Structure formats: structure tokens, C-alpha cells
Amino acid sequence: MTGSVAMHMSDGLLNPTTSLLFVGVAVVGLAVATAKARGDLDDRTAPLAGLVAAFLFATQMLNFPVLPGVSGHLLGGALAAILVGPWVGALCVSIVLVVQALVFADGGVTALGANVTNMALIGTATGFLVATALKRFATGKVGLVVVAFVAALVNTVVASLGFVLEFAIGGDPAFSLGAVTATVVGVHCLIGIGEGVITALTVGAVAAVRPDLVYLLRGTTRPLELREGTPA
């Protein structure tokens, strides 16, 4: 189980009723995100959203070890939210999850609703809320990458709690919920460190070149402060 939940949830971890329940949650959440995303998409953000989705797809196919026999990969919620906003970000992550499940069998089809709920909805919302709460510290390159790291770490752990809730509702009763919680959250704390590093490096790289494209920096009084050699 550890190896499975450290990545995408596979088929069979949740009973059919619970799987169907979270398909409904995912559909409602994505409907709201789609309606809200229209206000965030323009000639600048639409191409960036495509690049974010492509980057997430590529990086989610690459696993990094966290413990013997256990590996993880980028969830991408915080990264997407910081770069393109929570609504567009949720759609980017969802598109990646759907393609991976249907085309590459990465993540169960019956678990798709739960995976979208955890990684696209909970993950993106958590990452954006944390990043927004810490936005006042993102006034320079160091501050921005630290904020991105923290947001990604927290987003990963909170997303894992989504799985714990789903397992509590419709998981295999043969497994102790306490043991599952400790294992899943513990593993995702480690995965969150890798998530934080990747997110921080990526956000920092984009901000160094085009800080005006970073959604989190919208409304800041000195958006060009992140450029080296550019007068403030």
C-alpha cells in the first residue's frame, strides 16, 4: 500500500461507492474551476498554462526515491497555483491526471475522481492559500523560492490527508486507519521535501525571467524586483 499511495491511487483501494462519491466531488470542483478560470486566462496566461500542464505531465512521469521500496513524484498543485492561479492550476493538474490514467494507466481509472480531488483540488487550493498567506515574504528571489517551497510541502501533506479521509470512508477495513494515516502522512512529508525543491526551483526560474507571468506576484508594488541588474 505504501508504494501505491505514495504515487497515484490505483484501482481497488476504495470501494465503488466511495470512488463514485469522489467522482462527483471532482466534477463539481472542476466545474467551478472552469467557470472561474475564464477570468484568469488571457493572451499571456493561456500559453503559460499549456506549458505548466506539459511540465507537470513530464515531471509526474519521473519518480524519486524517498524510502527503500517507496518513491514519489511531483503532485504539482502549489506549482500550478503559484504560476497560473488556483482555478487554471486545478484544471492543468486535472488534465494531466486524466491523460495519465486513460492513456498511460498511471493511476486507476476508478480512482480518478479521488486522485483529482486530492491532487488537483485539495493540492492546488492548499498550495495557493499557503502561498497567498506568505506572499508578503515573496519580495525578492530568496523570499519567493522559500514561499514556493513551504507551499509545496504543505500542499503535499494536506493532499495526503485527502486520501486518509477517503480511505476512512471506503477503504479496506482490514487495514488499521491509524497505521494507514501514519504511513501515508509520514511518506508524504518526505515526498513534500522533493516537491518543495522542484517547485521552488521552477518558480524561481520563471520569476527570474518573466516575473510578470507569476500569478502570485500580481498586485505587488515592485514586480521587477526579482530581475537581476534591473533598476527597481
Query: In the chain, where does DSSP find H-type helix?
Result: 2-5, 16-37, 45-60, 77-84, 86-103, 112-115, 123-133, 141-170, 177-209
Which triple of cell numbers denotes residue 192? 513534500
Domain that holds residue 63: 14-226
Entry pTM: 0.88
* Residue for grid cell 487554471: 88
Q: List per-residue pLDDT tens for the chain, 232 residues long.
A: 444 444 578 888 899 999 999 999 999 999 999 999 988 888 888 899 999 999 999 888 777 666 665 667 789 999 999 999 999 999 999 999 999 999 887 888 999 999 999 999 999 999 999 999 999 988 888 999 999 999 999 999 999 999 999 999 998 888 888 988 998 899 899 899 999 999 999 999 999 999 989 999 987 645 444 444 444 4
124 located within any domain: yes
231 located within any domain: no
23 located within any domain: yes
Domain count across the chain = 1
d(CA 203, CA 83): 7
Nearest to 194 by CA among 68, 7, 66, 59: 66
58 located within any domain: yes
207 located within any domain: yes
Question: Do 111 and 19 meet the contact criterion of CB atoms below 8 Å apart?
Answer: yes
109 located within any domain: yes
For residue 17, give every residue at least 6 positions away whose Cβ sits within 8 Å of its Cβ, in sequence order, or none. Answer: 170
Question: Do 72 and 62 meet the contact criterion of CB atoms below 8 Å apart?
Answer: no
Question: Do 129 and 158 meet the contact criterion of CB atoms below 8 Å apart?
Answer: no
* Residue 61, domain CATH: 1.10.1760.20
39 located within any domain: yes
